[in-house]
Structure 1
C-alpha cells in the first residue's frame, strides 16, 4: 500500500455518515454514458469572422506549411497525395486538407467500452468528460505535493470509475514515476482495463507503445474487436496526438498516429499552444494557427486510413507577459475555445478542448475560479471530448485528489445545464400553481412532494446548512470535505467484474513483453 492510501479508511472502518450516504446514493443512479445537449451553442463570431479564420489557416498551410520531422514515410504519404514537399516542410494547396478530411472522416463515432452500457458517442450534440492527463505529481491535503506512483494512478482510475459525471477513464491520469519509462504503459493500460469498465485512452509516447495498446485491446475485446458489418476494427480507444506548435509534428506523434489510424482507433489531433510563446498573442492569430495545425494532422490520419475517426483538438492558453508562466481561466483562451468549436462543426468533425484548468498549487479559490472559467465555456461552446475535466492543478503538473472530486461535482452541474429546460407537463408545473394559489407556499403541495428528490442539483461537497450546524460538524471548508469524500469513495470501491480468462491473457501478454527488453528511463 502506498502512502497515498495510508490515511484512507478501510472497508471495515467506521464510515462518515453524510459522505457514505452520498456515495451510496450515487451508486444507485442509472448509468449515463455521455451527455446529449439540449441547449444552443454559444457563438462569438459570425459567418464572416469564421470564414476569415478559415481563409487565414489556408494561407498558413499554403505559404508557410507544416514540418513533419524525422518521418520519411509521412513525407512520402504527403507527396503521393499531391502536397508540395521540400525537405521536411509540407505545403498544401488552399482547401486541400479540408477536402481530404471531409471526404472520409466521420462526423461522429462510437467508442466502445468493455461494458457496452458505458460506450460513448463522440461528436454531434454529445459531450463526454474525462479526467486530467499527464501530470508527474499528485497532491492531497495530508501529504502535499509528491511524485505520482502506480498506486496513485490506480486510485485515480477508481475515483473516475465511481464518478458518474466522468464518462471516460482517461489515459495518463498521472505518470507512475516509480515504474520504468519504457514499460509503465503496460501497467497503465492494464489498470484502466482492470479497475474500470469505462472507455479509455491509449499510449502515444512511442509507436511500439501504441502497438502494445492495440494488442491489449484485441485481447480484451476478443471476437468482438472486429465489427461484422464493416469488417474493420471497432474503435475502442481515443488517443491524444499533439502537434509541436508552432507548425510541427514529430516522429513520436506521427508514429503513434499511424498505428492507431491503421487499426481504426481514434486520434485527437491537438495543437498544444501557450499563446504568446507558441502562437501570436491575439485570439484570431492563435485560432488560425490552431486550425492550420489541426487540419494538417487530421488530413494525415485520413491519408493513412480513410474513415478512421479523428477529433479536432484545441489547447490554447495564455501566458503571463511578465514571467512567461502559463495562465488559465482568462477570457482570451475562452474566446479561442468558442471559435475552434464553431470551426469544428463547420468542418464536420468532433471537437476536443476545455476542462477544469488552473495554475493554482492547491485546491483554493484561485483553483475554483480558474477551473469554472474554463469549464463553463467548455459546456456552452459544445466540446465533445473534454480532457482535463477533473484534478488539474499547477498548469497540469499536478493531479489533486481533493480537486478531483471538486471538479467532478462541477462536471455534474454542467450535465444538468446541458440538459436544458424540462417542458413536459410536469416541468410546466401548472397543476402545482393551481393547487397552491396566491399567498401560500409550495413546500407541501403534491407536485413538490413528487419532485423534491430530483428537483435541484444536490452537491455532495457544498455546505448549505446553518453556521451553527457547520460549526458543530467541525467547521470544515470544501477541500477538507473533499478530502473526506475521496477517501470514502476509495474505501467503498468495488472493481467491475472481468472475465478471468481475459485477465489472465492480459497479464501473460504484459509479462512476456516486459521480459523481452530491458528497463529504461527514456
Structure 2
C-alpha cells in the first residue's frame, strides 16, 4: 500500500539525527531511580543529583537494532487476538475519562464500575472495535481497589483484548492477580497474558516520571505486554511548530524505547502518540484539531522508518455533544492517519477532550471504524473483476439491478451503515426526524437490553469475589 508521506528519505534521516542530538546533548530528567540505574549500566551519562540522563547516539542505535515490527493484543478468547502488523486499522476505545453522559438523563456525571460493565459489553458486541481500552474511571471504587474496580467489570463483560493502566505498582499487582485468577493460574496467564498495559511515562518536555516508568520496567522485566504514549503539546510542552514538536516527540520515543530494549531486547513496542497543538487563543487543549491528524501522520512516517507499529489517540473531539464538529473532527483525523499508514486508533466513545464517555458516540465511532476498515481494503486488483463479460452482456443503456452478478457482490462491495440514514426526506420525516444521536442510541439500547452471554460464569465470579473482598459487582445493568 502507498502512503501519503510528508518527507523524503533525507528529511527522515535529518529528523532522526536531530532527535539523537537531543537525547545525547540535552538529555532527559529521569525521576525513577531504577530507570537511571538501567541507563547508567548500559553506558549512558547519569547525574543522580539532577536526575539528568544523556543517551549517546551510538547507544540508541545499538538498541534500535532490537526493534520488532509486531505487536499482539491478546484476548481472553483467542479469536479476538490482534496483530497490529496484519490487522490494521486496529480500533480502540478512548480511555480513562472521569465522566459519562448518563444514558437515561443525558446529563454528565461521574462514571461508576457499572458504567464500565455496560460499556465493556457494548464494545464486545460492536464489530468495528478490536480492543477495549477501559473508557472511564470508577467513582464507586473502594479506595484500595481503584484499578480492580475498572479491570474486573471490563474483563467480566468483554472477551476482546482489554487495555488500561494503573496508578501504582500495588494496583498493578492486584490487576495481575486478577488475571491469574481468571486464567486459572499464573502459569496459564503468562502463556496468554490477556491484560494489555499502557502508560505515559514520558512527560513532555523530556522528563520521565516515577510511577508510570516503574510500571513499564516491571512489566517489561516480566515479559508482559506494555507500551507507552508520547504526548507533546505544541505551544505548551513543545515548541509552537509542528516539525520541532515531531523532533521532540520522536526523541522522547527513542529514549523510552531504548530503556525498554535495555531491559528486554526484542520487546514489542508501539510508536504511540497524542501530539497536539494548543489553541493559543485560550490555552485550551485541542486533541480534535486537524493538527493532531497531521502530527500523527508525521510520527507514523518515523515509525515506518524504525519498522515498529504506530498509532495513538487519534479521532478525538473537543465537542461536548454528537454534532457536526464531533463528526468532522473524528472523521478527518482518522482518515488522515489511515492514509498516512497508522496502525492503532484510540478513537472511540469520548466527548469533550477525553472527559466524558457517551454511548451514542461509541456507536457512531463504531460506524466510522467500519468505514475506515472498508477504506483500508480499497480497490483490490484482480483481472477477473475488470468485469468485461458482464459489461458486454448488459451493454449500453441496460441495468445491473436484477443481475445475479449484483446479487452475488452487493454485500461484499458496499458497507451498509446502521446509524447513517439514506432515506428520502419524506420517509425520514414520517419516521420521526431522528438524528444520528437518536439512531445510535437505539443501537446501543438494543445491544444492552439483551443478556450478556460472554460474562463470567457464577463459579469463576465466586472465586474472584472470595479472593478480592468488597469488590464491585461488575454486572451489566441497563
**Same fold by TM-score greater than 0.5:** yes
Could you tell me how far apart the structure 1 residues matched to 2:421 and 2:364 are?
13
Q: What CA distance in whole angstroms lies between the structure 2 residues aligned with 1:298 and 1:399?
A: 31
Give the direction of change, closer, same or farther, for the CA distance of 1:394–1:61 in structure 2 (3 Å limit).
same
Find 2:98's aligned residue among 136, 156, 160: 136
TM alignment of 1:62-461, pairs within 5 A: 62-69=24-31, 71-87=32-48, 88-103=51-66, 105-123=67-85, 126-140=88-102, 142-171=105-134, 173-222=135-184, 225=187, 233-242=191-200, 243-387=202-346, 389-424=347-382, 427-461=385-419
3-state SS, counterpart of residue 201 of structure 1? strand
Q: How far off its partner does 1:58 sit?
A: 0.7
In the alignment, structure 1 segments of 5+ residues that lack a partner are: 1-38, 515-522
CA deviation after TM superposition for structure 1 residue 216, in Å: 2.1
- Shift of residue 426 of structure 1? 5.9
Shift, 1:430, TM fit? 2.8
- Residue number in structure 2 paired with 1:462: 420
Quickly say closer, same or farther: Cα 1:508–1:308, change in 2 above 3 A.
farther
**Cα-to-partner distance string for 1:194-214 (whole Å, 9 max, x where unaligned):** 101111114321112222222
Counterpart check, 1:477 vs 2:404: no
Coordinate RMSD, CA, aligned: 2.2
SS of equivalent to 2:363: helix
How many residues align? The count is 468
CA distance in 2: counterparts of 1:225 and 1:384, whole angstroms: 31
Give the 3 Å change call, closer, same or farther, for CA 470–140 of structure 1 in structure 2.
farther
Distance 2:164 2:352 in 1: 24
Shift of 1:255: 1.4
Displacement of 1:333: 2.5
Give the superposition deviation at 1:359. 0.5
Distance in 1 separating the partners of 2:298 and 2:219? 28
- Deviation by residue 1:264-310 (Cα, 9 ceiling, x = unmatched): 12222211222110111111111111111111112212222333322
1:292 and 1:309 map into 2 onto residues whose CA distance is 18
**CA drift at 1:176:** 1.3
| Counterpart Cα distance in 2 of 1:203 and 1:160 | 18
2-side partners of 1:500 and 1:429: how far apart?
A: 55
Q: Deviations over 1:219-276 (max 9, x none)?
A: 333469569xxxx754433322212111111111111112211221222221122211
**TM-score, with structure 1 as normaliser:** 0.84
Could you tell me the TM-score, scaled by structure 2's length?
0.92
